[in-house]
Structure 1
């Protein structure tokens, strides 16, 4: 018998063996298991459909979902069939196609969850749970189809009970916040008479667009645009423009369009100009329409508002996002200023003679908020760029940043000088969980007696996306958005009401010299008659502020020339970095003060520090609550949602003393409530706060400063012997229960 014959016989025997193994490979997939396969297919289609909603192609959600389901069906059929063959060959005594379907679905869901920022551990656990649940539902359906009579009714009732209990646990529907508004003094009476800046003004206005005239996706920037703009070459700022991005938009980095939605007051003008720019969202889901509510309000109040289109710089699942896009976003804002200057020279243009280029504000959301600040810091970012408008031909007077980023670019960060700055941030921002606008706030400086000012507002129940009407309720694309869902969010219209009130008040003050709104930035309680019900934290500083101590040195006892510090009865007092949720520095220091059973912290002033004080001046400082425990041992998370520090057992007094020993002491709560920090739970999934986004949501709190303004007149009324001109000491007295705070920016504001 030759070797060739032997090899042929082996091949025949192998083929016969394989054939026998493959015969009846589906016989174990009986009716019971077929129900499980169908159930897994249906729920895998649901998983793919949800994922497709977060992976827009630009052809519409229906196309994305249908295509995803079709591809999933094909992939599942082929994968399960392949696994069936393998299991049959190895002789596995299991329902093979069912097993193949189970493995396919598990891998599918794992990768969907993994790329949804679950982390590998969470993705593995929940993919297995989801797949087992899907198979179990199929088995339950088979059981319901077979049993009859009372047993079927009982089984249905038990199934519905499980579903109802799961629904109560998940709590996907948002519960309106029940926190009481902060109380204090007679501020409520003042609030009722404080003018509402969110009310429309007296100007009629018109809306129109300008654009390239060639937009593929929006006729208002295409053949129906009202005014044609030029394209700009951004090749100096970007090198990676994928061909898929060019195919979608029809242009590359050498021909970026200048598109804008305009709301313009009727009348001769000239009017202040507000350029508004969105942040990063899915490129295929356009964002520039989302600030129409602000555009209409500002135009009614005598300002030209323009929402700038930068969607072509946004993220796409298919083509990524351009590198260093922050700088490019800022550069485009300045290119719009140049284009508007060209328009204003044309007699036939609606912009002709109607734009006050000496009063410009930049307003941005998310990455747009950082870009707005960068545009105002032109000398640092674009010192040699000749394509931008002449520096002395325009003036950016103000910047508004809604939930902004603060990413380091080229090893630098934006520094603003004598530019008014406002930033708003939600404590339940599941995209940018840290208050990055607070960092930029700290890098805004003023010359002595500057008319500029800066303000911030931290809003307990606000999130990231609802500042834009096009971004929906969730801060995260699906499927992540199904699992990262902070409870008790403000309704979208309420969150935008906050933006309307503060943006309008800020720009009225910064661009139109309307001083009646400025007190709102020092004390948010003046707006309680028109602000939605939640907890707020505000900071404020103006060019009239004279700093005594900023606590950025190295010696806790020597704060600045002529200013020293001492403490009594404290557990700890030291200079420390202010930290965000991840325990990273926020770029600022403060004096960390901790006490167990009361104590005091004093700042001593040399006679040369306080010059020509007036009883109309205001003693100011910022305070951030860090942590505390109630005397009976209850932890903070057991406190009522609307509880202030005083109600929780922390009481702080402020005392001023002159060199003759005359003292005036008042409770801090007389001037402003000292709320505990806002605590946010981001997901309803057990054990996942630490897993999502590499621990992004791990810590529920961020220490946020609250500004306190204490009129010196109040101390003089408490003790008319106190000599303001010979003021020598400021003391914070901590009464009773344990606590920890951080003190910063001590000084006074000249009136």
Structure 2
């Protein structure tokens, strides 16, 4: 691996504890030996203890302070589809655009959502979707923001093309981060690129659902827990507010928004939240409480998930399935936060029973981390002291990471929102370098289309001879092993199964089939 995998989860906690314990023992050894020398005089044994403790401590401090070391991945053959003659979607578009914000107009922490708003939005009641905004942590969160779950604000940063609309819309949803650092501002690089290409981009503020100082009280009395259903629902409430504005006269959004052409983009927790939004968009009510009525029905054509988590929210006790919506997932190989490619599970749960033009694409970007997809999150995917345990040296430059991502996302928007089918070829390749980048950025990709006919995916039942295709049967001969098993990724199982086959390579053995 290119990353020292210490920084999150049980493995990270154990690794950090081991190093900190070693530091403590080195300090005890050094201090004890020094005190003994001062009290009893010099000896070689005592000197060895002092030197050993000092060297151990120096080595550990060096390990923690240095960013790490570079480890080069094994070279692999690169296969690229021909993109000759296809304009680079990573270049700036031709539309002039304007930037502004909308929000409550009363935000206590950020002027851009207070006195600086162009439009004042309504509030929404999310009390039925948010658990844990109570007790001491809830009191502290309310004191900080000056609102509670019954009066959640709809705040957003907008990049909108000038000229006659209507334009398609994309909403960008951040993930969990320090509550004091507004994550929504970290996607300006996307908004400033999408708007010149004729897309209204909105970076949505849900920082009030993120981790903060109030969570220090959570161990005493609760705290926010599994709130991703609320994050997804909030995206749809933003779309509802935009729809109301677009129908009003003398409004900056009047006639500008085509809400039948929508793509949702989410990062980390937001990457799962866009899947929840796509699910809720077609439901009449909240699965966990039918009193929460849903009546959205927006034209969500695609989802982009950036290093998403998976399974935080379980509608009806199961993970979220997505139907007939195109899906793009990207994950960094050096992600120090979401260390497993968790979105692969959601990728497996995207199906196209009715949409033959839909597709899904999975991209694993070598050298990319978690935080550099957001300009505010940075190179280290953990706060102190966890960042000391990350090997940062192999991580690519932040501008290169975003530069390699930009044409991929724009190609997806051009395909799903504008019907530019020629850009589908960007995703139809196996391991290769990212297109239109000055430096080589290697990708591992997968693509599935709505017009595929699956013969066998080994998901249907426990009978080894049945297949996905109706009336199909699987038979074999010459095998020493034939079974079906759950597929696992780094830290957890994948929501998929595979067939395992084995045979004897001897020349006299029966040829397997």
Same fold (TM over 0.5): yes
1:676-701 Cα shifts (integer Å, max 9, x gaps): xxxxxxxxxxxxxxxxxxxxxxxxxx
Rg: which structure is higher? 1
Deviation at 1:521, TM superposition (A): 1.5
Contact 2:69 2:391 in 1 (8 A): no
1:402 aligns with one of 295, 302, 306: 306
Aligned to 1:339: 241
2:126 aligns with one of 217, 222, 234: 234
1:172 aligns with one of 41, 45, 66: 66
Aligned to 2:211: 315
1:475 aligns with one of 345, 357, 381: 381
1:30-83 Cα shifts (integer Å, max 9, x gaps): xxxxxxxxxxxxxxxxxxxxxxxx9xxxxxxxxxxxxxxxxxxxxxxxxxxxxx
| Residue 500 of structure 2 corresponds to residue 592 of structure 1 | yes
Deviation at 1:597, TM superposition (A): 3.7
Judged with a 3 Å threshold, the aligned counterparts in structure 2 of structure 1 residues 581 and 331 are, in CA distance, closer, same or farther, namely same
Structure 1: which 5+ residue stretches go unaligned? 1-53, 55-112, 143-157, 603-751
Structure 2: which 5+ residue stretches go unaligned? 1-6, 39-51
Distance 2:90 2:100 in 1: 23
Deviation at 1:494, TM superposition (A): 2.2
* SS class of match (2:150): coil
Deviation at 1:177, TM superposition (A): 6.4
Judged with a 3 Å threshold, the aligned counterparts in structure 2 of structure 1 residues 528 and 357 are, in CA distance, closer, same or farther, namely closer
| Residue 180 of structure 2 corresponds to residue 271 of structure 1 | no
Structure with more relative contact order (C-alpha pairs < 8 Å, separation 6 or more): 2
1:232-265 Cα shifts (integer Å, max 9, x gaps): 1222223532111111111111211110001111
Deviation at 1:282, TM superposition (A): 1.5
Distance 2:351 2:151 in 1: 37
- What are the residue-to-residue correspondences of 1:443-454 with 2, within 5 Å? 443-448=349-354, 450-454=356-360
- What are the residue-to-residue correspondences of 1:37-436 with 2, within 5 Å? 117-118=13-14, 122=18, 125-129=21-25, 131-132=27-28, 135=31, 172-173=66-67, 178-179=72-73, 182-183=76-77, 187=80, 190-191=82-83, 194-238=86-130, 240-241=132-133, 242-319=138-215, 320=218, 321-378=223-280, 379-380=282-283, 382=286, 384=290, 390-392=295-297, 394-407=298-311, 408-410=313-315, 411-436=317-342
Distance 2:70 2:210 in 1: 32
Contact 1:275 1:333 in 2 (8 A): yes
Contact 1:181 1:528 in 2 (8 A): no
TM-score normalised by length of structure 2: 0.82
Distance 2:300 2:370 in 1: 25
Deviation at 1:447, TM superposition (A): 2.4
Deviation at 1:482, TM superposition (A): 0.8
Distance 2:414 2:182 in 1: 29
More moved, 418-427 vs 175-184? 175-184
Aligned to 1:464: 370
Aligned to 1:734: none
Aligned to 1:485: 391
Contact 2:262 2:300 in 1 (8 A): yes
Judged with a 3 Å threshold, the aligned counterparts in structure 2 of structure 1 residues 295 and 137 are, in CA distance, closer, same or farther, namely farther
Contact 2:503 2:512 in 1 (8 A): no
Deviation at 1:414, TM superposition (A): 1.4
Distance 2:403 2:89 in 1: 10
Judged with a 3 Å threshold, the aligned counterparts in structure 2 of structure 1 residues 132 and 249 are, in CA distance, closer, same or farther, namely same
Distance 2:471 2:511 in 1: 20
Distance 2:462 2:267 in 1: 36
Deviation at 1:469, TM superposition (A): 1.0
Distance 1:565 1:600 in 2: 17
1:554 aligns with one of 462, 474, 483: 462
